[in-house]
Homo-oligomer: A and B are copies of this chain.
Amino acid sequence: MLWLGLTPIDRKTLSDIAWQKLGDYLQETHLLGSIHSALYWDQNTAMPFGGAKWRGDQLGLLARSLHSRHTSQQYEDLLLSAEEEFETNVKGDKIGLKESIEKQRNLELLVLELNRQKKLDSKLVSQLAMAQTNGYALWQQARKNNDFKCFEPALKNLIFLRQEQAQQLDEPRSCWETLAQPFEPDLTIQRLQELFKPLRKRLPELISKYCHSKDLKKASWDLDEKHQQDLCNLLLKQWGRDKQVTALARSPHPFSITLGPQDFRLTTRVVPQQPLSCFLATAHEWGHSLYEQGLPSQADQWFAWPLGQATSMAVHESQSLFWENRVARSKPFADRFWKSFAEVGAPFHCGNDLWKAMNPLTPGLNRVEADELSYGLHILIRTELEIAFLQEGLEVHEIPFEWNRKYRELLGVEPQSDSEGCLQDVHWSEGAFGYFPSYLIGHLISAQLAEAMTTDFQNEGIDTEDPIGKCITTNNESKLLSWLRENVHHYGKQVNAEQLVEKVTKKPLSSSAFLKYLEKKLELMTSNP
């Protein structure tokens, strides 16, 4: 097995033999994990339909193999030895401060995860896997036939098993909090309520102030696939894509995935009658990919270690949202880019046309299609509901009623069917409770980071109210990226999401930067009719 992290000279030292052995083990686990990712990528971008059954068997084999590596006695022994060795080295002053902090954090995270895995009964793990497969299948059927009842028992079962899981994990947290940990380490419901409360009040006010039409307008124009792809390629070229380490493809749902320390993939899709969907999805996925590209990688030793991974889903989302919303949906970007759209047939005569098209600002029923203003409310509703059914006794059969009530209350729209209501998202069908808030926290983080970036640039002497906009106007987005790399990406899991934000912005995370950004944008849009 290759050990990528340490130089040959390091290998010769005898004082970190246990550490090296642990590294070799993690490296092999990570190789297997990335093979799983490569098969997932292929499944979504190239595999013919007929390959699904066999692919499922391949993925199952890898998943079992990964699980056994994550919980084996051999691994536990390696981890223990590495801890002992590390402590001896620290006591003997054989290790520098930076290295010591990084190693310490890696060990902490590895131990945390191992203990989590060990607490879980293997019977429950396999019951959950079956319940997820079953839940997903029944959800598809239920959504297709607008039949919540057919999904109900599966969802009940998933809730029961996940409650059971939280109990087995036995953390000093509530059920919902325990389940949210893998997505947002250290998040509490209390903190979540602090963050979301101002949004729950202010977003509906903004909607009623600025949004008059309730119909989601479909574009009356479209672009052919080739032109959409060309525009995406142009965008990524202008955003500095390195073709040596990135590859693009099409898939039914856009995603970004890392297959190796120098192998980053992203996909997009073309949606008929939504001529900007492909472009904005590319901007979004590129943001995710840039975060992964900037993580402490092979060169920094930690590609296969916890430290080399994204710190939370919200931070990940903040990066995709920064490039999608703060950059691509901005006025300066539209002013710079609209001609490229017009040249291939979009009915634009100035930057304002592209900008308006990219920012419809109309509340609707669908989360995925939602704009920046109403998106948060979709998340609030889901979060409240999952906390309610996991730990406050809300019955599964009550979900559709509650869902619709909340939509009416917060967004002023009401689903005509469960298919366009509480059956629209895949997450719950796979038992992924606790995931939704990350999307909205991502909006908050993105806005707060952009505020800090603005201040930093102004302090550097860029004398304008909107230095980010100025960078965009001059296609100097590389400056934005450098800032993000330096201030956000390179930490990996060294700090959690809130610590990261506080480190970078010198303020605790809150909703204020996001609300300020939104209100300013809405004002600007109203004054540019």
Contact = CB atoms under 8 A, between A and B. Distances in A.
Copies of the chain in the assembly:
2
B58 A34 contact: yes
Contacts of A263: 47-48, 50-51, 54-55
Contact of A260 (B1, B54, B244): B54
B54 A34 contact: yes
Interface stretch (A13-21, A245-253, A354-362): A245-253
A124 interface: no
Interface in A1-26: 1-2
Which 10 pairs across A and B sit closest by C-beta, in order of nearness? A54-B260, A51-B263, A50-B262, A50-B245, A48-B247, A50-B244, A51-B260, A49-B244, A31-B61, A31-B58
Given A2-B57, A263-B55, A41 B42 contact: yes
Contact of A39 (B35, B244, B265): B35
A28 B262 contact: no
A430 to B, nearest CB: 21
Contacts of A185: none
Contact of A245 (B41, B48, B243): B48
Interface in A254-273: 259-265
A112 interface: no
A201 interface: no
Given A32-B61, A57-B31, A261-B54, A48 B244 contact: yes
A409 B262 CA distance: 50
Given A46-B46, A48-B243, 16 more contacts: A28-B61, A31-B54, A31-B57, A34-B58, A35-B62, A38-B38, A41-B46, A42-B46, A45-B46, A46-B249, A47-B259, A47-B263, A50-B242, A50-B260, A51-B259, A54-B260
Contacts of A265: 46
A53 interface: yes
A245 B244 CA distance: 31
Interface of A: 1-2, 28, 31-32, 34-35, 38-39, 41-42, 45-51, 53-55, 57-58, 61-62, 242-247, 249, 259-265
Q: Which of A54, A249, A259 has the most CB of B within 10 A?
A: A54
A306 to B, nearest CB: 18
A114 B50 CA distance: 32
Q: Which of A42, A47, A61 has the most CB of B within 10 A?
A: A42
A1 B31 CA distance: 22
A303 B38 CA distance: 23
Q: Which of A47, A51, A265 has the most CB of B within 10 A?
A: A51
